Amino acid sequence: MKENLTIKDIDRIIEMAWEDRTPFEAITFQFGISEAETIAIMRTELKRSSFNLWRKRVNSGISQKHLKKRNPEIERFKCTRQRSISLNKISKR
């Protein structure tokens, strides 16, 4: 699957995976890659120490990388000035 991804796609996947609030399901929805493929991309593209820190954070009980682990009562704050994001294309002002 990595062969079909551009450099921009890989950079965006890494950025989304690094963010604690972005679940793996969002990456799967936008890019069509599984959690295992996301982990493989992170492993190959990051330095070993960075990858180890990320995996430790994702595997801890604090991580919200899976929708099932999130507290359903907590809603994410969204600024009224924030525009919608559609299939990884951010609307500009």
Nearby residues of 49 by Cβ (< 8 Å), 6 or more positions away: none
Instruction: Output the tens digit of pLDDT for each of the chain's 93 residues.
Output: 567 888 999 999 999 998 877 888 888 888 999 989 999 999 999 999 999 998 888 887 555 666 665 555 555 555 555 555 555 555 554
Geometric angle at alpha carbon 16, from 14 and 20, rounded to 5°: 115
What is the dihedral sign for C-alpha 77, 69, 55, 87? negative
pTM summary value: 0.65
